[in-house]
Amino acid sequence: MENHLDKDYEKRLSKMSPFEIKNELIRLAQNDSRKSSATFLNAGRGNPNWISYDAREAFFLLGSFAMEECKRVYQDTPGIAGCPSEDGIADRFEEFIANQPESEASKLLAASYKYSTEHLKADRNELVLEWVDGIIGDHYPTPPRILKYTEKISQAYLAQEMGERAKGEGREYDIFATEGGTAAMCYIFDSLQANHLVEKGDKIALMAPLFTPYLEIPKLDRFGFDVVTISANPVDAEGYHDWQYTDEELDKLRDPSIKLVCLINPSNPPSYRLSDDNLKRLVDIVKKDNPNLIVVTDDVYATFATNFKSLMYELPYNTICVYSFSKYFGATGWRLAVVATAKDNVMDKLIAQLPETKRKQLARRYGSLTLDADKLKFIDRMVADSRDVALNHTAGLSTPQQIMMSLFALKCLIDTDDVYKRKMQAMIHDRLKALWDNTGFTVMPDPLRVGYYSEIDMLVWAKKIYGDKFAEWLRKTHNPLDVTLRLAAEKGIVVLNGSGFAGPNWSIRTSEANLNRDDYATIGRQVRAILEEYYKEYSESK
C-alpha cells in the first residue's frame, strides 16, 4: 500500500477530482478510527443530515387518497385498480381532507390545495387530478417539460426564493423539471453545443471557486472549451478572503468572444452570495459590452442566504437558472431540480440569427417534433435533447417526483413567516460557529456568508499565526493535499481539497450540512492541531 504522506503519491492524487480523492480519504479515515479511539467524521460531501418531513407526510397522505380514487374504477378486481377520473375529484378530495385527523400532513395538504386554487387560480378538478395521477405515476409526464400546475407552483416558488417576493415578478419563466441539478448541468451543456450557441473550442468563463463538474465538463474532448477563469481567490489588504470578485476579474467578461459564463451563487465553496456590487457590475458588463453572453447560474444554496438576489431576475434575458431542491429539503435521493429561462431570452435570439446552413441542420434535427423548428424554444430543445430528440415523447421527470417537488415548494409558499428558512439558516450558522471557534482562526462578520460550506485557506492562517517565513517553508516543503491526507489518516476526518474547486491551493473545504454541531467543534480543533504540528516540524528543522 502506498504511503499517504509520500510526496509523489500526493502529487499524483492531486490531479484527481476531489470527489474521487474522497474515497481514498474515507479509507484512510476509517482505518484510523478502527485502530484508535478516533471518531470517523466525514465533512466531505454536502449531503444534509436533516429532512423536511411534513411535505413527505403530505405526499404519503395524498398517495392514500390517490389509491382510493384508483380503486373506485375497478372495485371488484383484486389487485387491480383503474386510472383516476377527473369528474368530481375535487369534491371527493375536499371531503377526504375534512375527514382526516388533524396533523401536520393534513394541514399542509389542505393549505397547499387552498393556495393553489386561490393564489395560483388552479382549476380545482384539474389540480387534484394532476396530483393524483402524478403520484400514482400511471401516465408519461405530459407535457414532457413539466406538468401544468407543477410549473405554476415552481414559478411562484422561484419568484419568492430568488429575490422577487416583494414584486411578485418572474412567474412567467419557462421551467424544465430535471433529475437533480446534475442532470440539469448535462442537459444545458449538451443543448448549448447541439444548437451551435457554444461550439467546440469557443471561449467560456468560469467563476471560481466552483463546483468541480463545472470545471471538468468543459475539458471533455466533445466540448474542448477555451476557459477563462474569473477568480475570487485573492486576499484583501488585511490578508483575509472576502470571496467576492474584483472589478478587474469581472471585467474579463467584457470580451465579446466569451460566449458563456458559469457561476454558483451562493458559491460552492466557499458559500458566499454575490455582493450587490458584483451583481450590478455583471449587469453593466452584459448590457454595455457583451449583450450576447449566456449566463448559467446554479442557485441551489439560495434558500440558505438572506436577502438573496439571483441573476435570474437581475439579468433575465441572458440567464439560465438551475435550482435543486436536494439540499434545502434533505432530498438528494429524490433527484429534484429545475432549469428556468425567461420567455424572451438571448438563446432563442441567437438561434434565430444562426447562418442558414446551421438553421437547416437544426430543422432536420428537430423536424420530427414540429413543422416549424425555427420557432422551437431553446428550453424545449433541451427537453428533446435530453432524450436524443427521438424519444422526446417519453421525456420528463417522473410524475411522482414532480408531485414531491410541488409539495416542497408549496410548503415554503405557505410559510409566510419563513419559519423553516430561519431554522435551516440558524442550524447551519451554529455549526459554522462551532467549527471556526475551535480552529482559533478569526471569521470576520459578513452578511454575505451563507455557511453551508467553509473554505479554510491554511496558508492564510499559517501567515497570520506563525508568520511569513513559516508559511513559505510550509509551501515549499509540503504538497497542499498533505493537509487533507493527514486529517484523514491521523485524525479520522474527511474534508475535500479546495484546489479541486479551483480554490486556493492550500485551502480545505468542509460541509456544514452533514454532521452535528459537536462534530464541527472536533473538526475545528483537529484542523488547528494539524497547523500546530506543521509548525513544530518547522521549528525542529531550524
Strand-pairing partners, residue 258, are 203
355: exposed, middle or buried (Cβ count in 10 Å: 0-12, 13-18, 19+): exposed
Range 263-292 average pLDDT: 97
Range 32-41 average pLDDT: 60
Give CA angle at 439 (435, 442), nearest 5°: 95
Q: At 78, is the pLDDT very low, low, confident or very high (cuts 50, 70, 90)?
A: confident
Segment 378-433, tens digit of pLDDT: 999 999 999 999 999 999 999 999 999 999 999 999 999 999 999 999 999 999 99
- Give the closest residue to 444 by CA, choosing from 243, 192, 303: 243
Give, for 85, the enclosing helix (H) or strand (E).
Answer: none
Q: Is the dihedral of CA 485, 490, 496, 499 positive or negative?
A: negative
Give CA angle at 79 (73, 80), nearest 5°: 35
Judged against a pLDDT cut of 70, whether residue 30 lies above it is answered with: yes
Cβ-Cβ contacts under 8 Å for 478 (sequence gap 6 or more): 534
Q: What is the DSSP letter of 176?
A: E
User: What was the pLDDT predicted at 3?
Assistant: 47
- Give the closest residue to 501 by CA, choosing from 186, 178, 46: 46
**Helix, strand or coil, per DSSP, at residue 170:** coil
Q: At 239, is the pLDDT very low, low, confident or very high (cuts 50, 70, 90)?
A: confident
Of all residues in the chain, the percent with pLDDT exceeding 70 is: 93
Cα separations (Å) of 456 from 135, 143, 429? Answer: 44, 45, 16
Judged against a pLDDT cut of 60, whether residue 17 lies above it is answered with: yes
Cα separations (Å) of 245 from 212, 273, 529? Answer: 19, 11, 31
Range 499-518 average pLDDT: 95
User: What was the pLDDT predicted at 512?
Assistant: 97
Judged against a pLDDT cut of 50, whether residue 168 lies above it is answered with: no
- Give the closest residue to 110 by CA, choosing from 128, 94, 122, 89: 94
Of all residues in the chain, the percent with pLDDT exceeding 90 is: 86
- List of domains in the chain: 7-38+420-541 (3.90.1150.10), 53-139 (1.10.20.110), 149-401 (3.40.640.10)
| C-alpha cell, 65 | 387518497
Q: How far apart are CA 78 and CA 61, in angstroms?
A: 22
Q: Do 263 and 296 touch, CB atoms closer than 8 A? A: yes
- What is the CB-side half-sphere exposure of residue 89 using CA atoms within 13 A? 26
Q: Is the dihedral of CA 461, 462, 466, 471 positive or negative?
A: negative
463-468: long-range pairs with CB below 8 Å, 24+: 463/239, 464/239, 465/440, 465/441, 465/531, 466/531, 466/535, 466/538
Q: At 170, is the pLDDT very low, low, confident or very high (cuts 50, 70, 90)?
A: very low
**Helix, strand or coil, per DSSP, at residue 192:** helix
Judged against a pLDDT cut of 90, whether residue 73 lies above it is answered with: no
Share the mean pLDDT of the chain: 93
Range 35-40 average pLDDT: 59
Q: At 39, is the pLDDT very low, low, confident or very high (cuts 50, 70, 90)?
A: low
Q: How far apart are CA 158 and CA 153, in angstroms?
A: 9
Q: How far apart are CA 127 and CA 125, in angstroms?
A: 5
Give CA angle at 488 (482, 494), nearest 5°: 105
**Helix, strand or coil, per DSSP, at residue 203:** strand
User: What was the pLDDT predicted at 387?
Assistant: 97
User: What was the pLDDT predicted at 36?
Assistant: 52
Strand-pairing partners, residue 496, are 509
Helices 124-136, 148-159: crossing angle, 10 deg rounding: 100
Cβ-Cβ contacts under 8 Å for 367 (sequence gap 6 or more): 373
Segment 437-489, tens digit of pLDDT: 999 998 889 999 999 999 999 999 999 999 999 999 999 999 999 999 999 98
Judged against a pLDDT cut of 50, whether residue 257 lies above it is answered with: yes
User: What was the pLDDT predicted at 42?
Assistant: 92
Cβ-Cβ contacts under 8 Å for 83 (sequence gap 6 or more): 70, 73, 133, 136, 138, 139
Least confident piece of the model among 33-37, 236-240, 492-496: 33-37
Least confident piece of the model among 4-18, 112-126, 255-269, 465-479: 4-18
Listed in order, strand segments (DSSP E) in 232-375 are 258-264, 294-298, 319-324, 336-341
Segment 42-64, tens digit of pLDDT: 998 899 999 999 999 999 999 99
- Give the closest residue to 310 by CA, choosing from 285, 282, 352, 330: 282
Q: Do 260 and 205 touch, CB atoms closer than 8 A? A: yes
User: What was the pLDDT predicted at 111?
Assistant: 98
Segment 180-208, tens digit of pLDDT: 999 999 999 999 999 999 999 999 999 99
